[in-house]
A and B are shown apart, each in its own frame.
Chain A
Amino acid sequence: KAGVTQTPRYLIKTRGQQVTLSCSPISGHRSVSWYQQTPGQGLQFLFEYFSETQRNKGNFPGRFSGRQFSNSRSEMNVSTLELGDSALYLCASSRTSSGRATYNEQFFGPGTRLTVL
């Protein structure tokens, strides 16, 4: 079974530009979550999508947005890039987005390393 894939793996942008990152979950997984990882802030939750609907959202400005398609693939968009947006962006998929503590482990992709100059 193929794992979670993220494209591109590396990206260099300049301030003010916008960027779109893509994530393909494991086949059969309907939940996709996005995280930002920086040395200073650690792993921070951005948002989670389940069946094309945003189920949860972290404390990030509106410049960060996402969507999920009917095939569960997800995209994350960051507009008006700032230097502080430089980070590793990780996508994770899981089988469900259940409120119960079922075994719904998240499988992570390799990440997209974004550098903003």
Chain B
Amino acid sequence: AQKITQTQPGMFVQEKEAVTLDCTYDTSDPSYGLFWYKQPSSGEMIFLIYQGSYDQQNATEGRYSLNFQKARKSANLVISASQLGDSAMYFCAMREANKFYFGSGTKLNVKP
């Protein structure tokens, strides 16, 4: 089974609107970390937000928030007030034990 699943290969959002990027994960380890990264066309992976498996509250970082639903094993990224510069690939990742697992990514296009 896939460790990380991102079911949306591509998404469009209107500038200034909010968008949710889906991510589900699979693990039996009670201790894990969930991450979201942004990869612009330049190629560099940029860390956005982190959620630990024991964290009680959803993580937030500026316009980014993580909708963590542990029972459903989902960790959706919410971007509020989308900007043109948000157009990029977005990867969900999980750290379990000593390994990182990445999803296949979602390409977000922000329309003016």
Q: Does B43 contact A111, Cβ atoms closer than 8 Å?
A: yes
Nearest to B46 among chain A residues (CB) is A108
Q: A43-B91, A103-B33 are in contact. Are A56 and B44 (CB under 8 A)?
A: no
A64 at the interface (CB under 8 A from B): no
Q: Does A90 contact B45, Cβ atoms closer than 8 Å?
A: yes
28 contacts between A and B (CB under 8 A): A33-B100, A35-B102, A42-B102, A42-B103, A42-B104, A42-B105, A43-B102, A45-B100, A45-B101, A48-B98, A48-B99, A55-B98, A88-B43, A90-B45, A97-B98, A99-B98, A101-B31, A101-B52, A101-B53, A102-B33, A104-B95, A105-B35, A106-B100, A108-B37, A109-B44, A110-B43, A110-B44, A113-B43
Question: In the complex, what distance in Å separates the CA atom of A42 from the CA atom of B50?
Answer: 21
Please, how many residues of chain B have a CB less than 8 angstroms from a CB on the other chain?
26
**For A90, what are the chain B residues with a Cβ–Cβ distance below 8 Å?**
43, 45
Q: A108-B44, A109-B44, A111-B44 are in contact. Are A103 and B50 (CB under 8 A)?
A: yes
Contact with B along A69-102 (1 / 0, CB 8 A): 0000000000000000000101010000111111
Question: In the complex, what distance in Å separates the CA atom of A90 from the CA atom of B44?
Answer: 8
**For B103, what are the chain A residues with a Cβ–Cβ distance below 8 Å?**
42
Interface residues, chain A, with chain B CB atoms under 8 Å away: 33, 35, 42-43, 45, 48, 55-56, 88, 90, 92, 97-111, 113
Interface residues, chain B, with chain A CB atoms under 8 Å away: 31-33, 35, 37, 42-47, 50, 52-54, 91, 95, 97-105
Of B33, B47, B91, which contacts A107 at CB under 8 A? B47
**For A55, what are the chain B residues with a Cβ–Cβ distance below 8 Å?**
98
The distance from the CB of B97 to the nearest CB of chain A, in whole angstroms, is: 5
Contacts A101-B95, A103-B52, A104-B95 known; 4 new A-B pairs at CB < 8 A = A43-B102, A43-B105, A88-B43, A106-B47
Question: In the complex, what distance in Å separates the CA atom of A108 from the CA atom of B37?
Answer: 10
Question: In the complex, what distance in Å separates the CA atom of A33 from the CA atom of B35?
Answer: 16
Question: In the complex, what distance in Å separates the CA atom of A111 from the CA atom of B43?
Answer: 7
